Structure 1
Amino acid sequence: MTAIKIPTSFNIDLEFEAADLGQRFLAWLIDQVVRGVYIGIFGLLIGSMSRIFQEPAIAVLFIIVILLPVIAYPLLFEMFMEGQTPGKMAMSIKVVGMVGNVPTTSQHLVRWFFRIIEQPVFFWAIVPVLSILRSPLNQRLGDVVAGTIVISTKPRGSIEETIFRDLSAVNYQPKFPEILRLSDRDMNKIKELLDRALTGDHQLAARVANRVKEVLKISTDLPDTAFLETVLNDYNYYTTVER
């Protein structure tokens, strides 16, 4: 997969993995199956009404109940499921903005509009396929114009490699409530840098600790590595134990 580095306001690069062509195709295929099942079920229901309603009414029902929802399927799901359709959810991928944010309504609309010329039917499949293969971030044309990317949501390591720490068995007292201004991604990056610093890179620990103190306006006499460990423990406390 293609690695994507995105700078945050915390001044630490976050790393994502761009979804590849295979993942995106399988997600699309699953969504087509979902659409097909929907069309089959409601097509039968509307067909059974043909004895009750006249043809113009059946045509209107077909447009409202089947055609419009099927056309708007990716737009509605991605808007209300934070960048995912059922297919994308099954493949553990999602649409995000270029800074890792949830796409705006206008970005969703642009991506959806460009599906008109990117529908993978017959020779039109060459448009999204070539765009994804040639893009350094695996973007289709709609992604490029909308300023979005499709990333993998799969965790990149085991739980021991994440920021999670079990504090439920201890009477832990947090020290820095300011850390709630940071995100999980920020904390994962701090954990990654701390692990690297603990191998002997004391200068790295100092740089990270100073940056955290500067951003959160924290004053403490704790040693750099102890401070970063406390930050991680506090974040776990406020986001797990206290809830």
Structure 2
Amino acid sequence: MNTLQVNTTQNVKINFEMANVGQRLLAFVVDNIIKIAYIYLAANFIDFDTVIRNIDQDHWSKIAVQVLFFLPVTFYSLYSEVLMNGQTLGKKVLNIRVINFEGFKPSFLDYTIRWFLRMVDFNFFILVFVLFYDSLNDEDFFVLLYLIFLFGKMLGFLMVIFTKNNQRVGDFAANTVVVYLKDNASFSKTILEEIKEDYKPTFSNVIKLSDNDVRIIKDTFVKARRSKDYNTLIKLRSKIEEVTSIKKPTKLTDIQFIDVVLKDFNYYTQD
């Protein structure tokens, strides 16, 4: 079992268990069932032949329609991981997530690098396939898609199996890893917070805080709450108010206020 060790600001060592190839494979299967379902439903409910006949018969116009058809599939992992805090639907089912090597939430650039380098696994072959689609009949279409699908994923899975931290090309370039979230206590020691997809933030000024500020706040908050050190909680709340210019609403306790600040920070920085 591979693990990643992260040090918090107070030198607390946290060990994350790496998602193994089986978990990533199953997540991949779930994600691709979703992609295939989209392609099947779109192909059966949208008459692309009619659409193409109704537009300019220029060859590149046809290719543009075909590319648009595949855009939701092509960008699936990027927008899913950005919107779902490092998870696709497949990763969510398998309880695994993408994190930065230092324990931070990956930036939008990190997610983009991971997605872009999927071309060595899948996307590049799909784009080549789309360009030559017109020369194929329907049976050839699905046979070739299946063969490209298998061939394109071999490199990525071999790297996940044989690299030290189960990283594929995109992970190496973006300095990210995929971890198993079985240990929620350890996960809570980082600045990452579990927030619901429909979460509504309260304090926009939390963006005045840095990642390091939030690490210190969370470490202190967790310890003070556990030991019921209310004096420290009051000082922590006062410091947050001072730095962010946020005034704690009277309806919130210090614990509730700090908890909202942490969640809001994650909400605004999840991209």
**TM-score of the superposed pair, with normalisation by structure 1:** 0.62
Shift, 1:44, TM fit: 2.2
In the TM superposition, 1:149-164 aligns within 5 A as 149-155=177-183
Shift, 1:67, TM fit: 1.0
Q: For residue 230 of structure 1, what is the aligned residue in structure 2?
A: 228
Q: For residue 24 of structure 1, what is the aligned residue in structure 2?
A: 24
Aligned length: 185
State the percentage of identical aligned residues.
26
Structure 2, gaps ≥5 residues long: 123-147, 186-213, 237-252, 261-271
In the TM superposition, 1:114-133 aligns within 5 A as 114-119=117-122, 121-133=149-161
Give the structure with higher Rg (CA).
1
In the TM superposition, 1:1-243 aligns within 5 A as 1-47=1-47, 50=50, 53-54=54-55, 60-64=64-68, 66-119=69-122, 121-155=149-183, 181-183=216-218, 187=222, 229-231=227-229, 238-239=255-256
More helix by share: 2
Change over 3 Å in CA distance of 1:123–1:186 after alignment to 2: farther
* Whole-angstrom CA distance in 1 between matches of 2:215 and 2:78: 32
Check conservation: 1:50, 1:58, Cα contact below 8 A.
no
Q: Which has the higher contact order (CA 8 A, sep 6+)?
A: 2
Change over 3 Å in CA distance of 1:73–1:27 after alignment to 2: same
Structure 1, gaps ≥5 residues long: 158-178, 191-211, 213-226
Root mean square deviation, CA, Å: 3.6
Does the residue aligned with 2:97 lie in a helix, a strand or coil?
Answer: strand
Check conservation: 2:10, 2:219, Cα contact below 8 A.
no
1:63-95 residue CA offsets vs partner (Å, 9 max, x unmatched): 32x211111111111111111111111111111
Shift, 1:231, TM fit: 4.3
1:127-173 residue CA offsets vs partner (Å, 9 max, x unmatched): 2222112222211121011100001123468xxxxxxxxxxxxxxxx
